[in-house]
Amino acid sequence: MGPLTGTIRVPGDKSISHRALMFGALAVGRTTISGLLEGHDVLATADALRAMGAKIERHSEGEWTVSGVGVGGLLQPKTALDMGNSGTSTRLLMGLVASHGITAAFTGDASLSGRPMGRVIEPLSRMGTSFEASPGGTLPLMMTGSLPAVPITYRLPVASAQVKSAILLAGLNTPGITTVIEPVPTRDHSERMLKGFGADLWVEETDGERVIHIRGEADLSPQNITVPGDPSSAAFFIVAALLVEGSDLTIENVGMNDTRAGLVSVLQLMGGNIELLNEREVGGEPVADLRVRHSQLRGIEVDSAIAPSMIDEFPVLFVAAALAKGTTITNGLEELRVKESDRLTAMAQALTLAGANVTETEDGLIIQGTNGKPLAGTTGEPVTTHLDHRIAMSMAVAGLVSSAGIEVDDTRPIATSFPIFEALLEQSTNA
C-alpha cells in the first residue's frame, strides 16, 4: 500500500452516539440525530432502548430519529438485553434502569462477560437498586431499579466516564440532587449533552476536583444532534499517516473535546506534524479538521495524568512508539487491563511478535523504537486480537510499516466500532 493522502471522514463518535440515543429516549418528543455511528455497539444500545419502549428509526446512513418516553417512562423489557461487546451500553443503561421501577437482565458476548461491572453496581446499589450478578460482579446480571431511588454523593475511585455517566443517568429520575466527585477529569460528553437536553446539571471545581450535580425528576426536551467524527477512530489514521513515508492526509470533522484529544497532544510532543484546521463548535462539542503529514517521531515519557483523555488510543500509540527514535515510557495504565482485553499484555505480545522491542510493566509498556525502520512483521503465526477491535486495528496500522506484513487472527470485531475501517484505509492509501 502507498502513502495515505487525500481527505477522509471517520464515522461518528461512539460515546456521543450512545448518549444521543439514550437521552433522546428519555426526552418527550422527537430527537433527530445525524452522523450516528452504526457499529454493533451503538446498535445494541438502540435495540435495548426499543425493548424499553422508545421508538427509534433509521432513515438513511447516519440519519436517525428517536421518539422518547420521558424520564421515568421506561418499560420493563420482555426479554434479556443483549449488549454484545459494548461496555458503554451496559454500564450507562444500568444507570438508566436504576431509578425506574423495572427489572432488566443484561447479557453479552464472552469478552464483555469478563469485564467488571462491580464499579457500577456499587454506587447504584447505594441508590437502592438490587442486583443479581454472576460471580465477580460480571454479566449476565439481573437488576431491579428503585422507585424512588435515593440521591447520593459519590467520589469515583477510578477515572471512569462510564461510571460517572451511569450515576448521573440514575440521578435523572431520582428526587433531589445526585452528586459525582471526579478526582481525575474524564470525558464530559454526558454533562455537555444532558445540559443540551435541558437537565438541571452544574459543575464546580473544589480543591482541584470536578464536582458534578444533577437535579432529579428532570424533564428533557428533544434535540437535533450532529455527531462529530470519533477521535478514537481517527487515531488509527493519524498514526498511519505519521508513520507511512510520503503521507499527507486530512481527516475532516474530528471531535476535539479536551477530555478526548490527549493522543494528538502526545503525538505532537513526539514530533508529529498534526495541524488543526477550521476549528469550530458543533452541537456543544469542539471539532476540527486534522492535516497529518509523515514525521520522524521521537520517544518520550508519557505523563500518566493525560491517560484518561486517550485511554482507548494507547494501543495505536504503542504502534507509533515502536517506530519512533528512542524509548517511549508509559505508566499509570492499569485501566487498560480491564478493557475488551488486557490491552497491555495483548499489545506487548502482538508488537513483540511483529518484531518490536517491548517491555511490559505492571502499569504500562516501555518501547524501544526502530528509528523509522520497518518492523519485521509476522510470518506463520497471526497476532491474537482477543476479540478486541482496537488491537485488530492497531496491528493493521503496524502492518503498513512492516516488511512482511502483519496477520491478525480475526478482523470481525472491528465492526463493533468502525465497520468501514478497512475500506477507508484502502481508499486513503490509493487516493
Q: Distance between CA atoms of 240 and 242, rounded to whole angstroms?
A: 5
Annotated ligand binding at 76? The verdict is no
Residue 215 belongs to what H/E stretch? strand 209-215
240 closest CA partner among 377, 115, 397, 420? 397
Residue 17 belongs to what H/E stretch? helix 14-26
Choose, from 312, 342, 388, 409, the residue flagged as catalytic.
312
Grid cell for residue 159:
477515572
CB burial of residue 190 (10 Å; 0-12, 13-18, 19+) = buried
Annotated ligand binding at 87? The verdict is yes
Annotated ligand binding at 372? The verdict is no
Annotated ligand binding at 417? The verdict is no
DSSP-derived letter for residue 108 is -
Annotated ligand binding at 210? The verdict is no
Distances, alpha carbon 215 to alpha carbons 68, 199, 221, in Å: 20, 8, 15
Annotated ligand binding at 412? The verdict is no
For the question of residue 82 being annotated catalytic, the response is: no
Annotated ligand binding at 312? The verdict is yes
Annotated ligand binding at 126? The verdict is no
Grid cell for residue 39:
457499529
Annotated ligand binding at 337? The verdict is no
Concatenating the DSSP letter of every residue in 125-164 gives HHTT-EEEEETTTEEEEEEE--SSPPP-EEE-SS--HHHH
φ, ψ of residue 138 in degrees (nearest 5):
-115, 175
Residues belonging to the active site = 312
Q: Which residues are annotated as a binding site for 3-phosphoshikimate?
A: 14-15, 19, 160, 162, 312, 339
Q: Which residues are annotated as a binding site for phosphoenolpyruvate?
A: 14, 87, 115, 162, 343, 390
Q: Which residues are annotated as a binding site?
A: 14-15, 19, 87, 115, 160, 162, 312, 339, 343, 390
